[in-house]
Structures are given as C-alpha cells and as structure tokens.
Amino acid sequence: MKQKILLLVLIGLLTSFAPKKITWVAIGDSITYLNDHPKETGNRITKGYMTGVVEKLPQFEYINQGHNGWTSVRIAEQIENLGLVKADVYSIFLGTNDWWGGKPLGTFADYQNNTGSTTAHGAFRIIINKIRALNPEAKIVLITPMQRADFVYIANPKNNAYGSYREKKGQLLSQFAEAIKAIGKYENIKVVDLYNQKKLKVEKLVYFKRLKDTLTSEYKNYTYPAFVDVPFNATTDEYPYPLESINMTYDGLHPSDKGYEVITKQLVKVMKRF
C-alpha cells in the first residue's frame, strides 16, 4: 500500500513539472500544407517547418491549417469554414499566391479600416480579427513570403511561374512582404521576415535550372539569373530541377529540407519565448 501511494506521489510530481502543452495553429498555403504531405513533393522533403519547430520545442503541438494554392484573400473569404480552433499561438504564412494570382495588395488603410477581403491588406485584417475572437490572449506570428525562382510543379510541369524578380500585374512580391511587416509593426505582432533572409535569396533557391540551349538544343545547367531568359517547354522538355539542382527549394518555390530548416530556426527564435 505504501509503495502504491509513493508511486502516485512520484507520478504527481513528475506531471506537475512537465512543460504545459502549447497549441499552435499554422495558417498558410502549400508551404505549410506540405509539412504533412511529403509524398506530394515526390518525397523530395522529409519534414516541414512545423515538424521542425516541434522537434526543437516539444512543448508545442501544431495543427496544420495549410491550404494548397490558397491566397490570403481566399483564407479570409473562407475564414468561418476552416474549422479554426482556439489555440495559444497562431502563425500566418501567406502572400506568395496573392502576388502570383494578381490579387490586389491594396493600401494600409484597407487594413486599418477593415475594408474586406478584396485586397490582401483587408484579408489580413479579417484573419487577425478571427484569431483574436477565438483567443484575445493568443500570440500571433506573421511570416513574410519567401523570394521565388522560376517555379515548375513536379507533378505537372505545365503549372509553372516566373520568379519574384519580376512584377506580376504591376506588383512585386517584395511589396507584399513589406505590407506584412508593416501590419506586424502596427499591431505589435512578431514578424519572421523570410523575404529578406540572406540564406533564402533568389540566387540560392536552386543551384541551377536545366534547360535546352536555344542554339544547340543540348541541355545545360543555367544558374540564376542566366536561366531567366531561357525558354522552358513544359510539353517537350525534361523537368528542369533534377535532384542535384535542389538547394533551398526543390522546385524554385517550395522549400527543400534545407529551406525548411532555415524557416524552422527563424521561428524557434521567436516561439521559444512564448
């Protein structure tokens, strides 16, 4: 009997000293979604940033609210249908699809005045308002989009896009990153600035892009920025990012294990203080 009581006391002591679990909802697009779907990368990744953070900060448990191909505008439009739950921490990692999809960035006044989901500024206001309605005490982390090289989807090369070195519909991806930073400053919310992260500069995203020489039709490995002006035919050409081309991304846009590790480290610096 005494042994049983002692055992219960020891269990109680150990439980009382165990770190409290922190629930983290990660809102994002495919870069978030792929954390739990590595097969959709052709198994070119083994884990995403959420798994990486939890490995380093085991008190956290994450809920993946990544939505493949979604914009901040669409997240805002569907905010009541996503099944968002009350949590201790929320991260918002959006913007790259808004830029490529030509969604208007709008102005900071759209954020301040809560003008709705017609602009990215307004969409971020809706998302943050929803989080605060779920838990006014929650910590929020904003993550800017990364720079982009030329994206070619591994499962369908006809789905491709040029990089952030060029405007899309009169907007630069850097403008979306700066807007997110401005929202963070205004709201006193932590921002992880991936766009200006030196290790994630456009020239470091892939080692090369393998394309046909326009004169000889022989395949050559072109580094950035040389590959910008070399055409890629999705119907006839080989996939331009073989395994040996992978650096911080595996397809010009989505992080590789190396890229996810950079993101993980930046998030851990912020989230270990929560």
Assessment of whether the complete model's pTM goes beyond 0.85: yes
CA count, 13 A, side-chain hemisphere, 87: 24
Structure tokens belonging to residue 42: 């052709």
Sequential DSSP letters for 167-198 = -BTTB-HHHHHHHHHHHHHHHT-EEE--TT-G
Mean pLDDT of the region 226-235: 97
Q: What is the pLDDT of residues 145-175, one digit of tens each?
A: 999 999 999 999 999 999 999 999 999 999 9
Summarised one tens digit per residue, pLDDT across range 44-88 is: 999 999 999 999 999 999 999 999 999 999 999 999 999 999 999
Nearest one of 90, 132, 112, 271 to 182, comparing CA atoms? 112
Three-class SS state of 157:
coil
Q: How far apart are CA 75 and CA 212, in angstroms?
A: 39
| pLDDT score recorded for residue 9 | 42
